[in-house]
Every structure is written in C-alpha cells, then in structure tokens.
Amino acid sequence: MARRARVLDLGRCVTRILAIETSCDDTCAAVLDGPTVLSNVVSSQARLHARYGGIVPEVASRKHLELINPVLESALEDAGSDLGEIDAIAVTAKPGLIGALLVGVNTAKSLAAATGKPLIPVDHLHGHVAAAFLEPDPLEPPFLALIASGGHTLLAEVHDHRTFAVAGQTLDDAAGEALDKAARLLGLGFPGGPAIQREAESGDPEAFPLPIAMSHDGSLDFSFSGLKTALVYAVRDLGAEATAERRADLAASFQSAVVGQLVAKLRRAIETAGWEAVALGGGVAANALLRERTAELCAERGVRLKLVSPELCTDNAAMIGSAARHSEPIAYPGYLDLDAAAR
C-alpha cells in the first residue's frame, strides 16, 4: 500500500539545509543558512566524459556513487557544520538522468532517515530560478528568468518563491546542447559552451551569417536546430582544412547567433509584458557575451538585472537548497517511497 507523504509545516524553523544535486554529471552538495551559502562543493565529471565527447549516463551514475560521500563531507566541513546542526536535507528529485538522480535521492533519503530529519524534494529547474534568491543581493519576485542550460531553455515568469510559469521554451535543442554539439563539430571538446566562448575570443562574430530563429507569431519559444544545421553545412562547404583555419570565426559566429536569439526573445518578453526585473540562470548564463548583451538590453529598457555568479549558474547544490527553502518539507517516514523522475 502506498504510504501517504506527511507534509510538515516546518517552513519557519528550517534554516540550515544540507542540499544534494546529482541530476547530470556534477556531484554537488551545499550547506545554506537561510539565503546565505555556507559551502558549495561541485565535483565536476566533465573531464571523465570529455573522452566520449558527451555525458554517458551510466558512467555518470557510477561516478556519483564514488563521489557523493566525500563531496557531502567537504560541504559540511567547509560550512563548519556537522549533521546534527542541519534542520533538513534537500535533494533534486527531477528532471535529469534517472540513474544519476537516484544516487542523490537515495543518499538524501538514507541521511534523512538515519538522523530523523525532514526531506525536501526539489525540481532542478526551480533550483536554477531560485539561484536568484540567494545572498548577496537577492532578487525578490516578480521577475522574468531566462534559464538556459544543457537540457532546457525557457523563459520563466516568477511571481512567487515557490513556483514559476513557462512563458516560452525551446521547441527542439536546448541552447547548451546546441553549443555542445557545435563544439564537437568544430573539434573543441566538452563541455562545449566554455570551449566555444574561449575560441570565439579571437574570432569575428560576423564572419559567417548564421540564422537567428524568430517566430512571426510573436511567440516566446526558441529553436536552435536550424542554427546547428547551418553550421553543419558551413563546415561541410569549407572542408576540414579551412574549418580548422576558420575555427575561431565559426565559434564566434555560432556563439553570436545563440546569444542573439536568447536576447531577442528576452527583449520580446520584456516589451510585451513590461517586466521590471530579469534574472539569468542555467549553465549558458555563465556565458560572458550573453551576460554583456543582457546587461545592455536591461540598461536600455530600465530593467533591473540580477546576474547570478557563474558558479551558481552551472549546476550546483546551493541553488537546490535555495529552492528547498520555499518548498514543502516531508517528515519521516513519508519520504521513504519518494522516487526520482527523469521528467
């Protein structure tokens, strides 16, 4: 018989949270005291996956198993905290790679059950939004958040701390996924976003006119697959030697087209709905050109911009702890049948 989750009204007394994030290829743990991050440990598996040119889900799950305990210990140590001082355990329960998520969820359940503490399941995307609530200089709702990562690209209308509404999202690839695929095509390695950014520094963003998909119906949805195909054709027409010679120009043109579309849709959303505050989140929000272009747009429109630090844009557990502060804690033993979900 399914056990009914007992939801606790602990909101006010949960101040110190130990948060865990293992939804993709980073093994992460953090300790928060209210909106203040006491520690934020990220053990990236990027170098391990680089040899395969992308994330191998089974390899990620096995690596999470190896790393999770040392990462948790480091997070507690860096925070100068022990488990006894923690009020609740938070964990990413969805969406993500199912095997990877299960490592975090089962670790969190075991820790919470062994210590009798409540558990707070968190949606990873709520985490990216909630990075904006963290100190220093937290942003309070209402605001519009552009979340662009390896798995998602969306515009989130944030009216309160607990949830958000999707105003537009990608119809095909995520922005980070497009950057990762472009980097692989250009022989720039994994993860692609930072590699493209580095290569683009010495390139001309106008060298290759690549398409910026803009719907005529005024929608706020994104599309990156046409852009990716355009790059495939450009590389095919150039041939291997010329592609290698023009790599910086290709990277700069591709980065410019991705950022161009993200900023164009952000502009459309600001202009149609009159948003007065904007936040950027997700791994692609660590991109210097996107940060610069968004800052220009917000300055032009007189909109407040919250630029989350790059370490809090890419996957981390501090953002999961931040979302957990505004989510329902579940008392023992209600969370014992909590499951991870890929979507």
Judged by the rule CB under 5 A, the positions of this chain that interact with Zn ion are: 149, 315
SS3 114: helix
Amino acid at the residue 269? A
Shortest spacing between CB 336 and Zn ion, in angstroms: 27
Cα distance between residue 158 and residue 165, in whole Å? 7
Q: Which is nearer to Zn ion, 24 or 102 (CB)?
A: 24
- Total interface residues for ligand KG4 by CB under 6 A: 19
Q: How far is the CB of 192 from ligand KG4 (least distance, A)?
A: 5
* Interface region with ligand KG4, contact rule CB under 6 A, candidates 130-138, 159-167, 175-183, 300-308: 175-183
At closest approach, how far in Å is the CB of 149 from Zn ion? 4
Q: Closer to Zn ion at the Cβ: 285 or 305? A: 285
Q: Which is nearer to Zn ion, 147 or 303 (CB)?
A: 147
Judged by CB under 6 A, the stretch of 29-37, 161-169, 173-181, 234-242 that binds ligand KG4 is 173-181
Window 29-68: residues binding ligand KG4 (CB under 6 A): none
Look at the chain and count its residues: 343
Distance CA 41, CA 30 (A): 6
Measured CA to CA, the distance from residue 299 to residue 166 in angstroms comes to 24
Question: Strand 16-21 relative to strand 88-94: parallel, antiparallel, unpaired?
Answer: parallel
CB 318 within 8 A of CB 32: yes
DSSP 135: S
**Binding partner of residue 129 among Zn ion, ligand KG4, none, CB cut-off 5 to 8 Å per kind:** none
Q: What share of the chain is helix, strand, coil (3-state, %, to 5)?
A: 45, 20, 35
**Would you tell me how many other CB atoms lie within 10 Å of the CB of residue 317?**
35
Least distance to ligand KG4, CB of residue 180, Å? 5
Letter for the amino acid at 77? E
Of 86 and 307, CB closest to ligand KG4: 307
Instruction: State the binding partner of 284 from ligand KG4, Zn ion, none, CB within 5 to 8 A by kind.
Output: ligand KG4
Is residue 180 a contact residue for ligand KG4 (CB under 6 A)? yes
CA–CA separation, 46 vs 49, rounded Å? 5
In the list 14, 19, 24, 145, the residue contacting ligand KG4 (rule: CB under 6 A) is: 24
Q: Which stretch binds ligand KG4 (CB under 6 A): 112-120, 219-227, 236-244, 277-285?
A: 277-285
Helix (H) or strand (E) holding 43: strand 36-44
Comparing CB distances to ligand KG4, the nearer of 148 and 305 is 148
Residues in a beta bridge with 155: 146, 168
SS3 277: strand
| Binding site partner of 118, from Zn ion, ligand KG4, none, Cβ cut-off 5-8 A by kind | none
239: left (phi over 0), alpha (psi -120 to 50) or beta: left
| Of 27 and 149, CB closest to ligand KG4 | 149
The least CB distance from residue 23 to Zn ion, in Å, is: 7
Which CB, 286 or 305, lies closer to ligand KG4?
A: 286
Q: What residue has token string 């027409």? A: 237
In the complex with ligand KG4, the residue whose CB is nearer, 55 or 158, is: 55
Residue numbers 304-333 binding ligand KG4 by CB under 6 A: 314-315
Query: What distance in Å separates the CA atoms of residue 102 and residue 64, rounded to the nearest whole number?
Result: 10
Stretch that binds ligand KG4, among 51-59, 62-70, 104-112, 145-153 (CB under 6 A): 145-153
- Residues 176, 189, 205, 260: which binds ligand KG4 (CB under 6 A)? 176
Asked whether the beta carbons of 119 and 108 are under 8 A apart, the reply is yes
Count of Cβ atoms closer than 10 Å to residue 216 Cβ: 5
Binding residues (CB under 6 A) for ligand KG4: these are 24, 149-151, 176, 179-180, 191-194, 197, 282-284, 286-287, 314-315
